[in-house]
Structure 1
Amino acid sequence: MNQPSNPFLKFIQNNREELLAEWTDKMKALDDPKVSSVLSDQVYTNTCNEYINILLLSFRGEDKEITSKICDFSQRIVQQGWSLRYISTGLSEFNKLLFFEMTIDDSEEEKMKLVWSFDKWISPVNSEVLYQYASSWERTVSLQKIALQELSAPLIPVFENITVMPLVGTIDTERAKRIMENLLQGVVKHRAEVVLIDITGVPVVDTMVAHHIIQASEAVRLVGAKCLLVGIRPEIAQTIVNLGIDLSQVITKNSLQKGIESALEMTNRQIVSLEE
């Protein structure tokens, strides 16, 4: 980043508090009311102040340090949930505010002389902010996707040789593939004899979903375990009947509790009441 002329530095240093206050107000006004009502005024002030610190640092021309500061700054604004559009608009508003305040008493000719050097100084800083924001956002989304994939088909051991896979939400082809992989790996890892697939949280069971469940059940059987389908609500049962889906090869129970009781029986155990 090229080192700009001193008038910019001097003006920011002499008018920092006024610039900060006015820009903070603009940022709050630009933000979604649902967001601004949750964030404190101090968050806006700190964010704007951090950006001004980056601008001041840019006068020293130390690219590595500036990039590091911008990276940290971008990560924080991503965590605050601010959109790229909002950040871009906010930076543009500050640029206009700063340039207008600097040249308020200048003639049009003098303003035009400053435009090029002003843009040459501040554009690389803003470009790096937006680039680091996009990179940080991509990393965040990627980590969230991995976390969601891990949670999309968890296999939980509840008793020795008994595991449960609770499913929540819709089941598409990609998720069905993950369910199959986790089931087979989990059966081996936990030495499961009985696996319960709990569909209490699955809103719709259509022909495709039923097909995936039957495939999963068959795969579990082939590796030496038994599969129970639990959590079949009345409306789901009616849908299965209306669609003519054949689940005769799958053991079904209407609740997870009933399924666990059956699983215990299959592994030669039972739940007993302790007399006082």
Structure 2
Amino acid sequence: MRKLIFDYVQTHKSEILKEWISQMKQDADERAVQTMSAQMFTKTSSEFIELLISNFTETEEEFQSKVVGFAEKIVRLGWPLTIVTLGLRTFSHIVAEGLQREELVGQHNFIEYSFEFERWMFPLYNTIIDTYADTWERTVSLQKIALQELSAPLIPVFEKISVMPLVGTIDTERAKLIMENLLDGVVKHRSEVVLIDITGVPVVDTMVAHHIIQAADAVRLVGAKCMIVGIRPEIAQTIVTLGINLDQVITTSTLKKGIEEALEMTERKIIEVEEER
């Protein structure tokens, strides 16, 4: 029976692929199908069918290597797990219907066929799904690490003056990263004044304000002065409404004003130079 299934799939590969693509375009999430060009979708679909067939012919180690490579590719292309599971089910239905249509499988051997096909597909299904999940988790983890490294940089803009621009929401995990980068950067750049720019922070609630004040206090403990800049009118109103105490922190409405004050603190100022006529 296993040989019968393999021979049918091998000899009808192009027809199975054509039918598989047609059904996937009809049944799959439209957004998943449209993440790639029609040519790329056809090419990737062909690789998927070849991968399923290779389970008959490859050793377990060779097949596992192919699965890992394919999983990494479809994760990069943005195929969700739902399209992978739908693809496996669709393949099973197409093969079953084809075998029955050609009367290779009928009432006399349907139980044998079902048992053999399930014995082939079940470990295949598990291998592909597990590999996809592992690849996705690894990709997301690497992206998260990369995002964290870029999400709270301390940038030296003048001698003794550094700026930390914050963009997006601030949760407890990110607040910890901000604190670490602030303290490491103050020491590394020998900063005397640090400006925390919250222009890009959409919402400042009690928790966010608490994290920012903690960061400012930590900067003062290592011998530097801290300013919070980029306080928009709506943020100022929120801070007042919430009763958040910023008495110990210097604040300005814009980064430009903050840098001007920082220069004064370090006994410097910006002088406009007139062009010679």
State the TM-score, normalized to the length of structure 1.
0.92
Distance 1:209 1:56, change over 3 A: closer
Kept after mapping to 2: 8 A contact 1:27/1:44: no
Structure 1 pair 143–42 and aligned structure 2 pair: CA distance change class (3 A): same
Query: How far did 1:172 drift?
Result: 2.5
Describe how 1:42-191 pairs up with structure 2 within 5 A. 42-104=39-101, 105=103, 106-191=105-190
SS in 2 for 1:171: coil
Letter in 2 for 1:166: P
Inter-CA distance 24–231: structure 2 relative to 1 (3 Å threshold): same
3-state SS in 1 of match to 2:12:
helix
Give the aligned length: 273
Q: What is the deviation of 1:177? A: 2.0
Residues 275 and 36 of structure 1, relative CA distance in 2, 3 Å threshold: same
Q: Measure, in 2, the Cα distance between the counterparts of 1:218 and 1:44.
A: 54
Residue segments in structure 1 that go unaligned for 5+ positions in a row: none
Distance 2:139 2:193 in 1: 37
**Partner Cα distance (2:115, 2:242) in 1:** 69
Counterpart of 1:15 in structure 2 is 12
Partners of 1:198 and 1:157 in 2: CA distance = 13
Equivalent runs, 1:191-270 vs 2, <5 Å? 191-270=190-269
Distance 2:254 2:20 in 1: 57
TM-score relative to the length of structure 2: 0.91
> Which structure 2 residue ranges, 5 or more long, are not aligned?
none
| Paired AA for residue 18 in structure 1 | E
| 1:28-81 Cα distance to aligned partner (Å, 9 max, x none) | 222322333342222222222112222332223411111010001111112222
The answer to whether the Cα contact below 8 Å between 2:28 and 2:86 also exists between their aligned partners in 1 is no
Partner SS state of residue 109, structure 2? helix
Structure 1 distance, partners of 2:35, 2:141, is 26
The Cα of 1:5 is off from its aligned counterpart by: 3.1
Is the contact made by 1:196 and 1:228 (CA closer than 8 Å) also made in structure 2? Answer: yes
Residue by residue over 1:75-122, the C-alpha shift from the partner in whole angstroms, topping out at 9 and shown as x without a partner, is 111222222222112211111111220232242122222221222223
Greater alpha carbon shift after TM alignment, 206-215 vs 218-227: 206-215
- 1:28 maps to 2:25: yes
Q: Which moved more, 1:135-144 or 1:5-14?
A: 5-14
- In 1, Cα distance between the equivalents of 2:274 and 2:31? 56
Q: Distance in 2 between matches of 1:88 and 1:17?
A: 21
- Aligned equivalents of 2:56, 2:83: Cα separation in 1: 26
Which segment is superposed worse, 52-61 or 97-106?
52-61
| Distance in 2 of aligned mates of 1:73 and 1:241 | 55
* Inter-partner Cα distance in structure 1 for 2:185 and 2:144: 21
How far 1:232 sits from its partner (Å)? Answer: 0.5
